[in-house]
Amino acid sequence: MRSKKRQHSIYEPGSARINDPATIQDASKYSRKRKKNRTIDKKEQQWNALRTAFRNRLISLIRTCHRQCKPFSELYTTLLTGKRLPKGIVKEAEASINAAEGTITTLLSVNLTKVKKPSVEYWRDYIAENFEDVKQSVVGEGSSSKTPAQIDGNGSNSDDGDDSSSGFNSDDDVQEDTEEYRACSTSLSSIIRKDLSNEVRVAVLNAIKNTLE
């Protein structure tokens, strides 16, 4: 009786592998990287808040200078020669991003240690780079808000000195708020409901007549 010869299976490591074997990686390395990125984002947010506070304060100072008709050159020199940051500007920056008090102060202190740059230097740099642009924006804003009479010297008075004829108070510049009414006539009986009884209709008409009298 013939018998079938049994074949031996040969296993070669890696020959039947579909996916690469799993590897164990150090998760702390990626955790440190994510934490570093979050720290960078927070610092950038704080710097942006400080620069925004610089701009808001500069706009306010230039508007005051322009309103008081003082020379911008004096303001520019004063700001560049300042010995410290404007009062309250750091707190304004912190409040704008809901940061804890002292957060940006700490950032400036750490940066002072690293790059040896005093905090007031950031303010001076911002003034030097942006003063002219902000000034032009504020002056242009003020000019566009003026009326033609103000630009020409607030108008001119009439020969008899009547202020009511000046450019500010002239009829061309000041329009009175008036409402137009149009009169119309109609019979009272036509506006009273038809489905009412005669007694009710007569009573309504009498009440209206008494009111008008």
| Residue pair 119/108 in contact by the 8 Å Cβ criterion | yes
Q: Give the pLDDT score at 114.
A: 86
Q: To 10 degrees, what angle do helices 119-144 and 27-67 make?
A: 50
Q: Give the pLDDT score at 178.
A: 40
User: Mean pLDDT per 10-residue run, the chain (213 residues)?
Assistant: 62 58 61 59 91 96 94 94 93 93 91 88 95 93 57 42 38 40 57 74 76 65
Per-position DSSP letters for 32-47, written without gaps between them: HHHHHHHHHHHHHHHH
Predicted confidence (pLDDT) per residue in 126-170, tens digit: 999 999 999 999 998 866 655 444 444 444 443 444 443 333 333
Q: Give the pLDDT score at 165.
A: 36
Q: Give the pLDDT score at 166.
A: 35
Instruction: Name the nearest CA neighbour of 93 among 38, 145, 55.
Output: 55
CA distance 158 to 15: 107
Q: Give the pLDDT score at 52.
A: 96
CA distance 140 to 81: 27
